[in-house]
Chains A and B, each alone.
Chain A
Amino acid sequence: MPKPIQSIERAAAILRLLSGRTRRLSLVELTGELGLPKGTVYGMLRTLVQVGFVEQDPETGKYRIGATLLHLGSSYLDGNELRTRALNWSDWLAARSRESVRIGTMHEGRVLIVHHVFRPDDSPQALEVGALLPAHASAMGKVLLATNPYVVAELSKAQLPSITGATITDPYQLSAELEEVRERGWAAEVEELIIGEASCAAPIRDRRGVSVGAIAVTGPVERVCENGQPRAELVTYVREGARTISRDLGAIPW
């Protein structure tokens, strides 16, 4: 295998740093984080700005990910937009399944909840929008990881934290399960995040067929599961909901 090209690796590192932050970063901050000479980083940034992958604020001189890259990037869809466009069919899923529904997107290796529909039984529940879930321990996370080997590799470098006794902590076991998720098109999580709860999730795809988020039904294990797996009926509802939302986003029905 030929040697990796250093400048591309470095450019990728800059983009990764910028995409992981909600605020803009200055040249000094970037240099510090990357441990590279200022001149090198500055040169790379100038080129990245030229091609539109990075934007520089004219007033503060700070950098952020450019719009061009966002539209090029595979998983970018504004979470607020995703919620708006998924509103009707996530309600539909909650009404059908009689359990709570969440929609999540990948955010710095974790699952960001961008939408939450209460379980339709009028019991007291609190909105969880904005909360972050560990990707390896949630059904939505598994769906999103299944098409994102880079994040899986990053997560596996560190230790996969154990949250309950059932959480998958072995990277090989996780890879094997993600392979299965990829093949069958949905993911399950049984008491791996919260004892007594289970969840199943399916991918929401955009018009390019790329997963932009995941939708999940979550509830008590005794209602959601049968023989240790989510009930077939729930899986059907989740997949149907995901398909309908995907169709509304322009994905070709499959």
Chain B
Amino acid sequence: MSEQYVAAIDQGTSSSRCLVFDQQGRIVSVGQKEHAQIFPRPGWVEHDPEEIWRNVLFVVKSALDQAGLTAGDLVALGIANQRETTLLWDRHTGKPLHNAISWQDTRTDALVKELGGAVGQDRFRESCGLPLATYFSGPKMSWLLEHIPDLRRRAEAGDVLFGTMDSWLIWKLTGLHITDVTNASRTMLMNLNTLDWDDDLLSAMGVPRQVLPKIHASSEIYGEASGPLRGVPVAAALGDQQAALFGQTCFSVGEGKCTYGTGSFLLMNTGPQARPSTHGLLTTVGYRIADQPASYALEGSIAVTGALVQWLRDKVGLIGSAPEVETLARTVEDNGGIYFVPAFSGLFAPHWRSDARGVIAGLTGYVTKGHIARAILEATAWQTREVVDAMNVDSGVMLTTLKADGGMTANNLLMQFLADVLGVPVVRPIVAETVSLGAAYAAGLAVGFWPNMQSLRANWHKAAEWLPNKNGQDREKGYRKWKKAVSRTLDWVDDDD
């Protein structure tokens, strides 16, 4: 028998990708295609679901062609996806009823305040683990049902289906209307303890149950694909950050990872019990394998990390490409006393302050563009430190090593600084594409391509390690200054802004 492979689709915020992996968890080929970001109004961000589907077919073909494979060489297909992005489509025609509303879209700003009422943003935290915020799908769906003519009636009549990108792709691939438990945990509609849609949450958001997909495990054979992937079992779906947790093989309580991209997401496995957070983290489902109990996770989300480097490149024009930020930052020895808090759309974990806006604190005439580049990289590290501190308290487990992945791990200066400010080693795994790898692992497990989770751990190898070498005193002084800079961002937005 010839060698067999698993394919993963990573349907992300800016592009769709397909990666093919072999049994050792090594990348065989990669296809990638970006899709348009549609900005109909300030604060609104949409994606065209038909374009996304076309791109997915394109990248699958591209990855298979590159490796000289056909659908018959694939034992399974797994899906990882941008989370929370919300779509409604017609049950009968399969046609989308609007553009998908991206997780970044803030049109539900007023709605989530209204939903919070007198209790505020934590009104539903106990049942769904999430604070009220614009990212999550429930309020987005609620908005759509209010604003698209006749939609509510059609939804109640059972003619409309809801899905995040996993559901949309599985629907297109298999005709089934399902989602996985990790994606469902980002809707604000699922009860974390029953792992089913919660009637109280549904009625609070005005969402009729009949639009919702059936919630499945993250790793099980959902069905067989038709079309170009005819016959390939679709066997996994995970939200992208949960997929990265799985791809980093964080299977034990206390194991965590941080994925550094446009934003950054630190997730820690907290085991079979959902752990509430009192320090601004999210409680979410990590993964669920077939009929085993779910593993929960705590999540700290940082909105602006890589995005700050992109801002420096695209809006300020100080660098020509993102990696050049390291070159520029290395022209100086330190941050020159400045701290850059990128609260561009408020502060996320652990602060959750939408009234905050960005500052560069500590400016003097001495500061050069090199210092600004350095402060921009340091901002990612300090924000990670805040989330790690919150995680250590909420989980009751001290993080002893940070497993980092994502594009920014190519930045050695950042990785070293991260180890310095956290005071623990930072390691990068040999497959930096942990999102796709996680989806592939979950799919491969479901079809028996890998016998068990232990066998996946054997594929994890350290590709690089950065050890902390900053002394504690410097570190704490820097952190103190950072916190002062953070306090300067608060209370900036006024009612009449």
Interface residues of A (CB under 8 A from B): 78-81, 83-85, 87-88, 91-92, 94-96, 116-118, 120-122, 125-127, 129
What 1/0 mask marks residues of chain B from 395 to 423 whose CB sits below 8 Å from any chain A CB?
Answer: 00000000000010111100000000000
With A and B bound together, what is the CA distance between A191 and B321 in angstroms?
38
The residues of A that contact B321 with a CB separation of less than 8 Å are: 78, 81
B411 CB contact (under 8 Å) in A80, A95, A117, A125: A80
Beta-carbon contact of A88 and B27 below 8 Å = yes
Q: Which of B30, B411, B462 contacts A118 (CB 8 A)?
A: B462
B323 CB contact (under 8 Å) in A83, A88, A91, A121? A83
Once the chains bind, are B462 and A78 in contact (CB under 8 Å)?
no
Cβ-defined contact, A96 with B26, below 8 A: yes
Q: With A and B bound together, what is the CA distance between A87 and B465 in angstroms?
A: 15
- Besides A96-B26, A127-B464, 12 other A-B contacts (C-beta < 8 A): A80-B323, A80-B326, A84-B322, A88-B27, A91-B27, A91-B432, A116-B464, A117-B430, A118-B465, A120-B461, A120-B462, A127-B465
| Residues of B bordering A, CB below 8 Å | 24, 26-27, 30, 321-324, 326-327, 407, 409-412, 430-433, 461-466
**Contacting residues, chain A, for B324 (C-beta < 8 A):** 78, 80-81
A83 to B330, CA, bound (A): 15
* Residues on the B chain within 8 Å of A96, using CB: 26
Q: Which of A80, A91, A96, A127: most chain B CB closer than 10 A?
A: A80
Q: Are B327 and A88 in contact (CB under 8 A)?
A: no
B465 and A95 form a contact (CB under 8 A):
no
A95 near B432 (CB under 8 angstroms)? no
Chain B residues contacting A83 (CB-CB under 8 Å) are: 323, 410, 412
The residue of chain A having its C-beta at the shortest distance from the C-beta of B325 within the complex is A80
Closest 10 CB pairs of A and B: A120-B461, A84-B410, A80-B323, A81-B323, A84-B323, A80-B326, A95-B26, A117-B463, A87-B410, A91-B430
Cβ-defined partner of A88 (8 Å) among B411, B412, B433:
B433
Shortest Cβ distance from A117 into chain B, in angstroms?
Answer: 5
Q: Is the CB of A88 within 8 A of B461?
A: no
- 23 contacting pairs across A/B (C-beta < 8 A): A80-B327, A81-B323, A83-B410, A84-B323, A84-B407, A87-B407, A87-B409, A87-B410, A88-B433, A91-B27, A91-B432, A91-B463, A94-B430, A95-B26, A95-B431, A95-B461, A116-B464, A117-B464, A118-B465, A120-B430, A122-B461, A125-B462, A126-B465
In the assembled complex, the CB of A82 is this many whole angstroms from the nearest CB of chain B, namely 8
Give the interface SS of chain B, mostly helix, strand, loop or mixed: mixed
CB contact under 8 A between A78 and B464, given known A91-B432, A92-B26: no
- Residues in chain B near residue A94, CB distance under 8 A: 430, 463
In the complex, the chain B residue whose C-beta lies closest to that of A129 is B412
A125 contacts B323, C-beta separation under 8 Å: no
Among residues of B, the one whose C-beta sits closest to the C-beta of A100 is: B463
Q: Which residues of B contact A127 (CB under 8 A)?
A: 412, 464-466
Neighbouring B residues of A84 by C-beta, 8 Å: 322-323, 407, 410-411
Assembled-state Cα–Cα distance A90/B324 (Å): 20
Task: Check A95–B24 contact: CB distance below 8 A.
Answer: yes
Does B465 lie within 8 Å of A125, measured CB to CB? yes
Bound state CA distance, A122 and B429, in angstroms? 10
Q: How far is B462's CA from A127's CA once the two chains are assembled, in angstroms? A: 11
- Closest B-chain residue to A79, C-beta based? B327
Kindly report which residue of chain B lies nearest to residue A114, judged by CB atoms: B412
| Complex contacts, A122 vs chain B, CB 8 Å | 461-462
How far, in Å, is A88 (CB) from chain B's closest CB?
6
B322 touches A95 (CB 8 A): no
A248 nearest CB neighbor, chain B only: B30
A87→B406 CA distance, assembly (Å): 10
What's the nearest-Cβ distance from chain B to residue A128, in Å? 10
Tell me which residues across on chain B come within 8 A of A91, comparing CB atoms: 27, 430-432, 463
How close is A209's CB to chain B, nearest CB, in angstroms? 21
CB distance from A86 to the nearest CB of B (A): 9
Query: Which single residue of chain B is at the shortest CB-CB distance from A87?
Result: B410
Chain B: minimal CB distance from A63 (Å)? 16
Residue of A nearest to B413 (CB): A80
B408: nearest chain-A partner, CB-CB: A84
CA distance A122 to B461 in the complex (A): 6
Contacts of B26 in A (CB 8 A): 92, 95-96
Shortest CB distance B335–A (Å): 18
